[in-house]
Amino acid sequence: MPNEAAPLVVDLAERRYPIHISSGLLDRAGAVLAPLLPRPLVLLVTDSNVARTPHLGRLETSLAAAGIEVRRLVVVPGESSKSLEAYGRLVEAMLATGIDRKTTVLALGGGVIGDLAGFAAATALRGLPFVQVPTSLLAQVDSSVGGKTGINSQHGKNLIGAFHQPIAVLIDVDVLDDLPERELLAGYAEVIKHGCLADADYFAWLEANAAAMLAGDPALRLEAIRRSVEIKAAVVAEDERETTGRRALLNFGHTFAHAYEALTGYGDRLLHGEAVALGMVKAARLSAALGLAPEADAERLEAHLASLDIATDPRRLLNQGFPVDAVIEAMTRDKKAEAGALRFVLWHGIGKAFLTGGVELSTLQTILAADA
C-alpha cells in the first residue's frame, strides 16, 4: 500500500472537506493546512496526556515551519472534560487569547478532545473554523469524521452539542504506536462496527487481519482506517444531520453502549469503545431473538471480539452486571429515543444494519437479563 494515498473527501457541497490518512503526517501538517486556513493562526486544544507525548511538539514544529502561529490550551484528560463546566472554562480561555472569527481551532487528541474542542469551535464567536487531528484509533475511524460535536449532560451522553464540520481531518497512523493497549482495543470496536453495519467483506477482512493490524502492521492499519473512514464519510454525505435515518446506522450498538456508560458514570471504568463492543453484541443478540438475523452472525461477532481479548460481557469487564430496569431507564434518556420510545440499530446479519422501533419490552428484558 502506498505511504500516502489521495485524501478522502466528505462531500457536503460548500462544506466538503479532505481527510488525509498516512504515516508521518504530523510532520507535514503545516504544509497541508496552510492553504486551508483563513489566516495563519491556530488555537491548539489538547489534553495533558497528549501534551506529554512527542505528537504535540511534532505538530507545533510543523505548523511553525509553515508560518502558522500556535496558541496552546491544555485541558484535563478523560470524559470528565465533556461537561458544561469544562466547556465553559475552555471557551473563556479561548476568548482570553484574543481570537477572532478567522482563528482556526485545532483538536489534537482522542474523541473527548475532538468533541469538546469542536463544540467550542461551533459556539465561540458563533462559529470558528475547525481542524481534527485525532490521536486515538477510535477518534481516527469515528468521532473525528462527520461533524458531530458535543458534551455530556447529567441526563445522558452527548445531549448538548452541534453539527460543525471541520475544514480538514489529518490522521497520522504513527501516533497509534504508543497508544495504550486498552485504548487501542476499545477503538477497534468502532473499526469492526463499520463492517457490521455496511460491509460484510470488510468484516471478513478484519477477521483475517485485525490481530496483525492491532499488533502494529502499518500497511494493515492504513488499510483498516481508510476503509472505516470511507464507510463513515459516505454515510455522512448522505445524511449529514441524521434526518433520514441513514446516519443513525453508525450507532449500531450505541443505544446499549450509552446506557452502560451512563450507569458507570462516564469515567475510565468503561471506555466508550468497550461499551460499544458490549452494545454491538447485545444488538446482534436482540436481532437474532427477534428472528431478524441469524444467530450464527451474532456468534461470529462475539467470537471475533473474544479472539482479540475484547470483553463481550460486562461481568468480565467490570465484575458486575447491569440491572435490567436501570439499563432500560437509561436507554430512554438516549438522544436516539423519540417521545420516550426506544429505537435500535439492529441488523439482518453482518453488513446489513437498519433502524427500528417497536421492540417488545419482554424480549429486550430477556436479552439484558443474560448478563445482569
Helix (H, G, I), strand (E, B) or coil at 19: strand
pLDDT value at position 335?
67
pLDDT value at position 256?
96
CB 127 within 8 A of CB 165: no
Span 6-52, pLDDT tens digits: 999 999 988 899 999 999 999 999 999 999 999 999 999 999 999 99
pLDDT value at position 339?
62
Please list the alpha-helical segments (H only) found in the chain.
Answer: 29-33, 48-51, 54-65, 84-96, 111-123, 137-138, 181-198, 200-215, 218-238, 254-263, 272-289, 295-307, 314-318, 324-332, 361-369
* Residue written as grid cell 502494529: 216
Name every residue whose Cβ is closer than 8 Å to that of residue 286 and which is 6 or more positions away in sequence: 344, 346, 359, 363, 364, 367
Q: Is domain 8-178 in CATH 3.40.50.300, yes or no?
A: no
pLDDT value at position 334?
77
Q: How far apart are CA 80 and CA 267, in angstroms?
A: 7
Sheet holding 41-47, edge to edge: 8-10, 17-22, 168-172, 130-134, 104-109, 41-47, 69-75
| Parts of the chain with a pLDDT under 70 | 1-4, 335-336, 338-340
pLDDT value at position 2?
41
Q: Which fold has domain 181-369?
A: Dehydroquinate synthase-like, alpha domain (1.20.1090)
Q: Are strands 148-153 and 156-163 parallel, antiparallel or unpaired?
A: antiparallel
| Nearest residue to 20 (alpha-carbon basis) of 33, 37, 39 | 33
Rg over alpha carbons for the chain, rounded to the nearest Å, is 20
Would you name the residues annotated as active-site residues? 126, 148, 190, 232, 242, 247, 251, 254, 258, 272
pLDDT value at position 340?
65
| Nearest residue to 156 (alpha-carbon basis) of 330, 339, 349 | 330
For residue 171, report the phi and psi dihedrals to the nearest 5 degrees.
-115, 110
CB 53 within 8 A of CB 178: yes
Q: How far apart are CA 362 and CA 342, in angstroms?
A: 13
Q: How far apart are CA 275 and CA 267, in angstroms?
A: 11
Span 85-129, pLDDT tens digits: 999 999 999 999 999 999 999 999 999 999 999 999 999 999 999
Domain map (residue ranges) of the chain: 8-178, 181-369
